[in-house]
Structures are given as structure tokens and as C-alpha cells.
Chain A
Amino acid sequence: MTRGVETFTVLQRLLHWLMAVAIIAMLFIGVGMLSTVMPKYVPLLATHKTLGIAILVLALLRLVVRLRCGAPALPADLPLPMKLAAHLSHYALYALMIAMPLIGWAMMSAGAYPVVLYGGIRLPAILPQSDELHTLLWNAHSWLAFAFFALVVTHVAAALFHALVRRDGVFESMAPVPSRDAPAAAK
């Protein structure tokens, strides 16, 4: 699925950075709202649900864009374990971006909660009420959230490693603005 391009397309970079902000906000809102009884709990929960569905829509769009536009090839001299880690971690990121909102939506459904987003948008239940499913999905949502955060931190560390240590153009391929002196991107 890779094309020999140096950078991701503008649309891909836009989606990446928009979703980066949304997903990091989402993870912080998630752990934050579960540890507070303050009035902010109500808007945090509403934001979590709304942003979650927005991420789901963006992730599906992004998947289509990725399948159509591909991705720049990794540097040829990147050690095989790092290449493998890069590929696997991206599969995992896509899987989580799509699965987490669906798990959350299903969990709310299994808890017989109405799913109402900002703007009064009501989503239908995607599962009947079920104690067992609610528990299973709650645990999945929680543990996968920590895995997601760990993966995001690793992703950031790897991006910085490419940018600062290897200076191999991988970071520049997804940089928010194309850098003029990007070493590899400039070829």
C-alpha cells in the first residue's frame, strides 16, 4: 500500500494532526471524568461522547484516504525490528481509533443509557441492555484506553526519535507544515 512519495498528502496530514489533538484530548477527558464528582463531569461526559463519535467518523474517512493515497516508504536503512514496530503500531492505532468509539457506544447501549451528543444528536442503541456485555465492554474500554495512551506516547517518542536522532525524514513526512530544510524530504 506504499507509494514512493516523500510526504503524506495535505489531507492526510490535516487528518493526522486534527485527530492527534482529538485523541489526546479524549484520553485525558476519559481518565479525568472518571476521577471527578465536580460539575465539570457532565460537560466532560458529553464532550467525550461527541468527540468519540467525531473520531470514529474521522478514522473511517482516514482509513479510506490511507487506502487510496498510501504512505511514504520507510527509510531503507531503518532496522527491521523498527520497521516491524512501525507497521504493527500503525495497525494498532487504526484499530483503536475505530474500535474505541464503537466499544464506548456499545457499552452505553448495554447500560440502557440514552446516547446523546452535543447539539441534541441522539444515537440509537447498538446493543440491548446486558449486564454481562456492559461489564465486558466497560473493561475493554478501560484497558484499551490505557493501551491506546501507551501507544500514543510511544508513537510520539518514535516520531521525536526520527526527528531528532535519526533525522531520516520520517517525521517530516507527517509534519504539520512542510519544513524547508527537512533533510530526507528534500532528497
Chain B
Amino acid sequence: MPVLPRSPSRPPFGSLAVIALVVAAGAGAFAYTAGWLSPGRLTPTRIVDSLAPKGGPALGYRRNHAKGICFTGVFESNGNGTQLSRAQVFAAGRYPALGRLNLGTPDPKAPDATVRVRGMGLQLSTPDGEVWRAAMIDPPFFPVATPTGFYELQMAAHSDDPNAIPAFAAGHPEFAAFGAWAKSAPWTASYAEDPFNSLNAFVFVDGGGAEHVVRWSLLPQAEVVPITEDALAKLGPDHLEAEIATRVAAAPQRWTMIVTVADPGDPTSDPSKAWPAGRRTVEVGTLVVDKIEAERDGPCRDINFDPTILPDGIRVSDDPFPAARSAAYARSYDLRTAEVKDYPYHLQSAAGGEK
């Protein structure tokens, strides 16, 4: 028969204290893990919030690289990449590509000539069901060495203190190289003339299980016609989208994919440091963009170009950025998919429906 409490007349304070302690410890550990006790922790939310312009984020849009235009095409793999990775995307063949040419700005209305960094989001799909997503930009190296540095750069860039950027640069010596690139690199009047670089290092795993730490680039096959910032500004605030649509309608546009293999000792964990010249490179194929798609409600809108979505045969390296970007991109995606009513297409269609 059930045994009654030891002493019903005297509350078992000791036992109740043990229970209270266990509950408090559990709840405390949970709160700590969730970051509620660590306001200084760099979270995806803080990174994404740091990107927002003064007036707040553009609701419904990606929180960075908000201005862009979608495309579809194919990746023509020449088979050379199988030396480095067993991913099917490197076996000779043609694989569907979906991507987005974009400007590195949280403002979807930013005039083209006001944005120094351009990017490409890319998704390659293979018949084995694997998906490779990437998000690349056109500078040859990243402005900062660590995700914390990226957050501090956003804080400095949005600060009212005129000394914020100089102070940031003083604390982040790697930033000077980016500043020099931003000042001196030629502008172009077409996305088709821009290179796009992974910057982050990834590990390719070949068919024999050997690992190769690599970065990759998409180099334009179109002739590069340098142009000044002023001349680009005169072409209009949205020249790039109109130009690429016209250009692709006339002829498919191509980029050659080059994979660069690190030598032992190369800085694989720091995308602000380019690898020395002379590294082994393998030309693995060609990205052919043959259709410009609608940005609003087009096929890119639903895609988070998370750089950690990788096929078997590619994995993240010791570069800390892909993980940080994945965490932040997911936050951006969660936000914008919850703001669908604010996305212009839906506003227009709602307004149209009422007329």
C-alpha cells in the first residue's frame, strides 16, 4: 500500500528546498543558454539589428543586400572540380541555377552609385537532391576579420560620433585594405562585368575522402568597362537592374567559376586576408545566366542564400563567417517572411484589388 508522507504534521522543508533548487537551477541554465543573462552576447538579432539604417529596416525585405534582381540559368560543370570535391555539381553536366544579383545595402531604394559592394546569391541544384547555396561579393577580401568586427563596423557606420569610423579603423587594421579597395577599384555599369568571390574558405572533400580548403570566384566573361562613380550615378539610380535585364535578353551572360586551393599555412579562418598569388586554381565550370526574373514574387524571394547550405562534398572550414552569416540570414528570413504584408508587391496587389 502507498506510504504516506513521513510526517504530515511537519512540512518537509528540506525536500521542498531540494525541489525548488532543482527547478531554479534548470530554469537558470535554460535562461543562460538562451542568452537572457548575457546582454553582451553577440546574437543573430543584434547583428541583424545593427544593419538597419537610421529610419529602421525596410520591412519585408532582406535585412542586407536588400536591392537586387533575380535570375535563372545553368551551371555548366566541366568535370575538373571532381579533383577537389565529390559533390555532384562538379561532375561534368548542366545543373539548374537560381540566383540574385544585388547591392550590399539594407536600403532597397539606394541609388546604384551609392553602394560600393555588389553581390550574387546563388543556388545550384543537382539530380541527387543536393542543394548548394552561396552568397558572394565583389571585393577581393572582406572588410573585417571576425563576425564581432563586422558588428562593430555596423555600429561605427551608424554612429553619430564623427570619430567612430577612425576609432574602428584603428582597432581593426585589416579595414584599411578594404578602404583602399573601395577608393581605388574601378566601378562598372553592369553586374555582368563584376566578379563575385566566396571570400570565406570552405572544405572540399574529394571522392577519396581527402580534404582541400578552398575559396572560389565567379569571374565575368563579359569585357570589363571601367567607369567612374559619377558616370554611373548619371546613368540613373536603378541602372544596373535595367541594364542586366536588357543584356541578358540579348544574350546569356557568363561567369567562369575558379576554385583556389589553400597552401598549408594560408589564413583560412580570416576572409580579410587574400591568399598569396600562385595558389593552385582549378576552373570548374561556367555559370550561364539566361533569364532575368522578377524580383518581387519571383523565384528568389523565397530563398535564403545561406552559405552553410552545402552538398555532400563541401563543408564549412575554420572560417567563422559562414556560421555567423547563416545565423543572421535565418533571422533576416524569419523577419521578412513575417512582414509579407509590407512587401511592395502585396501592397500593390491589395490596393489594386480594392479599386
Instruction: Give chain A's interface residues, CB within 8 Å of chain B.
Output: 27-28, 31-42, 45, 75-77, 111-114, 120, 122, 129, 131-132, 134-135, 138, 149, 153, 156-157, 160-161, 164-169, 183-184, 187
Contact = CB atoms under 8 A, between A and B. Distances in A.
B304 A112 contact: yes
A183 B324 CA distance: 53
Contacts of A35: 33-35, 41, 43-44
Given A113-B304, A132-B340, A156 B22 contact: yes
B5 A165 contact: yes
B141 to A, nearest CB: 20
Contacts of B34: 31-32, 34-35
B309 interface: yes
Given A75-B2, A153-B23, A167-B6, A111 B337 contact: yes
A39 B316 CA distance: 9
Given A165-B15, A168-B2, A183-B3, A41 B324 contact: yes
A138 B322 contact: no
Given A40-B323, A131-B340, A111 B304 contact: yes
Contacts of B35: 31, 35-36
B42 A165 contact: no
Interface string B21-59: 011001101100111000001111001000000000000
Interface string B327-344: 110000110011010000
B1 to A, nearest CB: 7
A114 B309 contact: yes
Contacts of B309: 113-114
Contacts of B130: 114, 122
Nearest to A31: B34
20 contacts: A28-B30, A34-B44, A36-B35, A36-B42, A36-B43, A36-B327, A37-B47, A42-B322, A113-B309, A131-B340, A132-B340, A149-B30, A153-B23, A160-B18, A160-B22, A161-B19, A164-B15, A164-B19, A165-B15, A165-B19
B12 interface: yes
A163 B242 CA distance: 72
B302 interface: yes
Interface of B: 1-6, 12, 15-16, 18-19, 22-23, 26-27, 29-30, 33-35, 41-44, 47, 129-131, 147, 302-304, 306, 308-309, 312, 316, 318, 320, 322-324, 326-328, 333-334, 337-338, 340
B334 A138 contact: yes
Contact of B23 (A31, A120, A157): A157
B30 A42 contact: no
Q: Which of B15, B303, B308, B322 neighbours the largest number of chain A CB atoms within 10 Å of its CB?
A: B15
A164 B18 contact: yes
A167 B6 CA distance: 8
B337 A131 contact: yes
Given A134-B337, A164-B19, A27 B30 contact: yes
B3 A156 contact: no
Given A76-B2, A168-B3, A42 B22 contact: no
Given A129-B302, A134-B337, A157-B22, A38 B29 contact: no
Contacts of A39: 316, 318, 320, 323
A13 B217 CA distance: 54
A28 B32 CA distance: 10
Contacts of B129: 122
A137 to B, nearest CB: 10
Contacts of A37: 42-44, 47, 147, 323-324, 327-328
A14 B331 CA distance: 37
A41 B326 contact: yes
A41 B340 contact: no
B308 A42 contact: yes
Contacts of B304: 111-113
Q: Which of A135, A184, A187 neighbours the largest number of chain B CB atoms within 10 Å of its CB?
A: A135
A187 B326 contact: no
Given A39-B316, A111-B304, A165 B3 contact: no
A153 B43 CA distance: 26
Contacts of A153: 23, 26-27
Contacts of A36: 35, 41-44, 327
Nearest to A34: B44
A21 B231 CA distance: 63
A32 to B, nearest CB: 4
A39 to B, nearest CB: 5
Given A28-B33, A31-B30, A39-B323, A184 B2 contact: yes
Contact of B323 (A34, A38, A156, A166): A38
A187 B1 contact: yes
Contacts of B30: 27-28, 31, 149
Contacts of B303: 112
A60 B174 CA distance: 54
